[in-house]
């Protein structure tokens, strides 16, 4: 048994399971990365044109920041932030725009309500509502409705995956027919172990809710093209979740680009999202159909 004490999940005792779902246990100082998110997002807003706090729904947090591209009918990358569904927001999430917009890609940083004020079902609905607002307003925003890509990190990858499930779009289309691609970074796709950890205190998930809100248990037969990535310095459970998700989606998407970035951890992986000189950025730019440069070092692993 790992971690001592009574087994809680997959041979882990409570203390070790909590550590496995604490990505900050693999870095010296989490606050360094959070500060960089904010600072680079401030730089993005200073350097680029931006429409701030566009409202996509009735709840106070249901807003987004939109960075237009210079050309018409541009692809759009939507970024759904992490923070374990209880921290961060759009003001910490604009930094990928600095690399994407100059390459001709519009960018949107999506805000949503946080736990414990909002239950996870409601957060999932908000993200879906925000994505659909962008689909409906694509023309007036100067983006191509058939070139909308969704991305998310950590909890944001979970929320992105939930947006790829069937049965929620207002016009009845499958998300695979709505979104041109999705990028999921260091995600958690099965919430059963999460509900057994400290992370569940603000979420208040029971077994049924964890099952209902676990995208890996409800994957549709068809998915859009995917980039699925993780850092090299992840806990064993985040690595397992990544590996199981890659296997689960392999036959459901036309292409799955898997990226493992040895030089990155759970928190700084997202800085590669908009840098085509990295393996992750190269995979993302390929999926977007944006300007390309050869990646530095190892390229992305492509497999199905």
Q: Is the pLDDT confidence value at 6 over 80?
A: yes
Percentage of the chain beyond pLDDT 70 is 94
CA angle 130, 135, 138 (to 5 degrees): 115
Q: Supply the pLDDT for residue 295.
A: 34
The pLDDT value recorded for residue 144 is: 97
37-56: string of b/e by CB count within 10 Å (b at 16+)? bbebbeebbeebebeeebeb
Q: What is the pLDDT of residues 238-274, one digit of tens each?
A: 999 999 999 999 999 999 999 999 999 999 999 999 9
Tokens of 84: 């374990």
CATH architecture of the domain formed by 25-303? 3-Layer(aba) Sandwich (3.40)
Position 234 scores a pLDDT of 97
Q: Each residue of 77-121: pLDDT tens digit?
A: 999 999 999 999 999 999 999 999 999 999 999 999 999 999 999
- Say what the pLDDT of residue 255 is: 97
Q: What is the rounded CA–CA span in Å between residue 201 and residue 86?
A: 11
Per mean pLDDT, which range of 75-79, 168-172, 187-191, 289-293 is the poorest? 289-293
pLDDT above 90: percentage of residues in the chain: 92
CB 165 within 8 A of CB 220: yes
CB 229 within 8 A of CB 207: no
pLDDT at residue 291 above 80?
no
Task: Kindly state the tokens that stand for 194.
Answer: 């999460």
Q: Is 140 exposed, middle or buried (0-12, 13-18, 19+ CB in 10 A)?
A: exposed
d(CA 133, CA 57): 8
pLDDT of residue 290: 84
Q: Where do the structural domains in the chain lie, given as residue ranges?
A: 25-303
Element (H, E) at 243: helix 236-249
pLDDT exceeds cutoff 60 at 300: no
pLDDT at 4: 55
Mean of all residue pLDDT scores within the chain: 94
Q: Mean pLDDT, to the nearest integer, of 33-56?
A: 97
């Amino acid at each position: 048994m790992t971690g001592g004490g009574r087994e809680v999940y997959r041979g882990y005792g409570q203390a070790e399971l909590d550590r496995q779902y604490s990505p900050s246990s693999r870095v010296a100082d989490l606050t360094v990365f959070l500060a960089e998110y904010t600072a680079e997002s401030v730089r993005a807003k200073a350097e680029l044109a931006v429409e701030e706090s566009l409202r996509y729904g009735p709840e106070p947090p249901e807003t987004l920041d939109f960075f237009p591209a210079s050309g018409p009918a541009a692809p759009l990358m939507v970024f759904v932030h992490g923070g374990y569904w209880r921290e961060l927001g759009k003001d910490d999430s604009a930094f990928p725009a600095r690399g994407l917009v100059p390459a001709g890609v519009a960018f949107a940083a999506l805000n949503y309500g946080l736990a414990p004020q909002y239950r996870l079902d409601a957060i999932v609905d908000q993200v879906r509502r925000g994505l659909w607002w962008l689909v409906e307003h694509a023309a007036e925003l100067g983006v191509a409705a058939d070139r909308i890509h969704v991305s998310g990190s950590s909890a944001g990858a979970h929320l992105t995956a939930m947006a790829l499930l069937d049965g929620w779009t207002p016009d009845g289309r499958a998300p695979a027919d709505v979104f041109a691609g999705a990028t999921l970074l260091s995600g958690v796709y099965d919430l059963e172990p999460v509900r057994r950890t400290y992370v569940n205190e603000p979420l208040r998930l029971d077994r049924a809710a964890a099952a209902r809100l676990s995208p890996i248990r409800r994957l549709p037969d068809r998915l859009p093209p995917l980039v699925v990535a993780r850092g090299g310095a992840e806990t064993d459970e985040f690595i397992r979740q990544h590996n199981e998700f890659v296997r689960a989606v392999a036959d459901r998407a036309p292409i799955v680009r898997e990226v493992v970035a040895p030089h990155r951890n759970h928190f700084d992986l997202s800085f590669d999202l908009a840098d085509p000189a990295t393996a992750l950025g190269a995979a993302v730019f390929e999926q977007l159909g944006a300007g390309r440069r050869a990646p530095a070092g190892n390229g992305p692993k492509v497999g199905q």
